[in-house]
Structure 1
Amino acid sequence: MIVITLTKVPPSLRGDLTKWCQEIQTGVYVGNVTARIRDLLWDRIMRDIGNGQATMAFNAKNEFGYQVKTTRPDYQVRDFEGIPLVKRLNRVDVPVKHGFSKAAKWRKAKAGMQKHYSIESQDRFVTLDIETTGLDPTKDQIISISAVKRNADGTKEHYDAFVKIDQRIPESIVKLTGISNESLKDQGIELSKALHGLKIFVERLPLIGYNLSFDDRFISTGFKTINEEGLSNKLIDLMPIVKKKNKFLDDYKLGTVLEKYKIENSRPHEARSDAEATLSLAEKLIKNEDLHF
């Protein structure tokens, strides 16, 4: 049995969960699924959670008979000799994120432009993609960061970094990304150096990605890990724009969307290749007048 609570998540995620669980109260879902389905559900939540929060409790073989996972920054789950203990943090520094309402987004964007941005041309922006050891920023780590800067004259600049980690890369991630433990050992740099380099590279330009909330959660967690202020750039996620303009795609994975827009990505799940493909997608959306910033 599992119990899932959601707050401030996209409606599409709520709809997905009702395929396996019953919503017994607003934002509270109960279901009886296998461990495999449970883990897949958590992966789906982490992928589509947006700026919301989620907590899952499920059966486990320990003294309490259950285990807990949460994305809430004000709570921390600790394992004490097999017993899950949930600690409430007295103070949590969490950056303010965009709200879901149009008014909230407008207020955030307006304040951000007045305070942070000095953009001479909308033709300058940066696309971003990262690779990680998994989908959960509370336990998984960044292994690769790539960004592509589009200048006003159409030229491009690149930023690439492998990141050293304190755990082995799961074999499934090695197969998916082509990044090996040896690559990180030989070419990787410390997370602090990688994030500093990224911050310098992106300047104050708009930061564009596909399913950007995923990358943003890991980047923000990374900056908190090194006890430094994160990026304050304007964030633009292409996924909701594509969903609005293409309501009948089979799915909205990056590969499916690139095929729809006739964009080639020769090395999917390689950070630089995905960042390049995202830039091409952004350019097509700008040309079609579907993307404005």
Structure 2
Amino acid sequence: MVVITLTDCPPKVRRDLSQWLLEVSTGVFVGNLNKRVREKLWKRVCENLKTGRACLVYSANNEQRLEFETFGSTWSPLDFDGIKLIKRPLTANNSATHQSLEDGYSSAAKYRKAKNIQKAIAKKDSDLYVVLDLETTGLNVEKDEIIEVGALLIKNTEIDNSFTAMIDVGHIPKEISKITGITEEMLKNQGKTKQEVIEDFYEFIHNKTIVGYNIAFDLVFLKKAFKEYDLNFNPKVIDVMSLVKKQMIDVANYKLETVARYYSIDYEPHRAFNDCLATYRIYTKLNKNK
């Protein structure tokens, strides 16, 4: 018997495990595997699990009748006189006696500590985020489809990585092709399946703060697409258009290309990657003006 449990399981890992094991509950896979397959599967889990935790338990011919391994966890296996135990870190309650005096126990000290934690979290969020944009066949989420996704991973205010892909949805309205420059032939030759793009895109943006321009539009389409493949998505969101409106700048409208011109940002609109770049540059300028 083999049992593998995971948190934040990437779609590619779930696909691998589902070929050999039965997922009896979210992130819990069970089955019978030989040693070679078990070791190869566990290796793939460890190589592709980026933010989550994993635990492998399997039958073994020893005194405990089992073996286990962990990955990405503060809990780790420990051999104690031939018996395998699990080593856990001290909890806040158990480690209270080891707390340094400089932390303090007064209300003022606790307040300062809480504020420092909040500042650290806020700094972490500002240092790592994803700018995203979508192109779709229309405005109606019930009948229209995503045809292109784009995203920039930002670390410490600089572009660290990027993602762009087209989805082959078949037919595109002529007016959308005229606006975006994306044709049915382009989707056929360069596009991928919806499931492949959505699952890969989910891995790229999962557990990160999302920045976008008029982001509510993109979120409606994204959440619907993620829901189709049982992908949970409830991120922290920053809408750059809302931030721009608060600046009360003198523009005819708040379309992305209009605001980009105001900030002297030259770009070709209505392609996902280009719109991401424009949004990122506007957001950067807004932050510098704080």
TM-score by length of 2: 0.55
Deviation digits for residues 231-285 of structure 1, max 9, x if unmatched? 22211111111112125421111111111112121x2101101111111111111
After superposition, the Cα gap between the structure-2 partners of 1:221 and 1:121, relative to the gap in structure 1 and judged at 3 Å, is: closer
After superposition, the Cα gap between the structure-2 partners of 1:153 and 1:139, relative to the gap in structure 1 and judged at 3 Å, is: closer
Letter paired with 1:209: G
Q: Which residue of 2 aligns with 1:186?
A: 189
**In 2, Cα distance between equivalents of 1:274 and 1:128:** 8
Q: Which residue of 1 aligns with 2:55?
A: none
- The gaps in structure 2 that reach 5 residues or longer are 1-116
- The gaps in structure 1 that reach 5 residues or longer are 1-112
Root mean square deviation of aligned Cα: 2.2
The reply on whether 1:223 has 2:226 as its aligned counterpart is yes
How do 1:142-153 and structure 2 match up within 5 A?
142-152=146-156
Q: Is the 8 A contact 1:121 1:152 kept in 2?
A: no
In structure 2, which of residues 112, 118, 124 is the aligned counterpart of residue 120 of structure 1? 124
**In 2, Cα distance between equivalents of 1:120 and 1:247:** 29
What is the Cα deviation at residue 119 of structure 1? Answer: 7.4
Letter paired with 2:282: L
Q: Is the 8 A contact 1:144 1:163 kept in 2?
A: yes
The reply on whether 1:270 has 2:271 as its aligned counterpart is yes
Deviation digits for residues 31-69 of structure 1, max 9, x if unmatched? xxxxxxxxxxxxxxxxxxxxxxxxxxxxxxxxxxxxxxx
Task: Judging by fraction of residues, say which structure has more helix.
Answer: 2
Deviation digits for residues 187-227 of structure 1, max 9, x if unmatched? 11122211111121124221100000010011111123x24
Indicate the structure (1 or 2) with the bigger Cα radius of gyration.
Answer: 2
Q: Is the 8 A contact 1:131 1:144 kept in 2?
A: yes
TM-score by length of 1: 0.55
**In 1, Cα distance between equivalents of 2:249 and 2:286:** 15
How do 1:205-224 and structure 2 match up within 5 A?
205-224=208-227
- Matched residues, percent identical? 35
**In 2, Cα distance between equivalents of 1:119 and 1:137:** 34
After superposition, the Cα gap between the structure-2 partners of 1:119 and 1:202, relative to the gap in structure 1 and judged at 3 Å, is: farther
The reply on whether 1:157 has 2:158 as its aligned counterpart is no
After superposition, the Cα gap between the structure-2 partners of 1:137 and 1:177, relative to the gap in structure 1 and judged at 3 Å, is: same
Deviation digits for residues 135-158 of structure 1, max 9, x if unmatched? 111110000000011122724311
Paired residue total: 172
Q: Is the 8 A contact 1:130 1:142 kept in 2?
A: yes
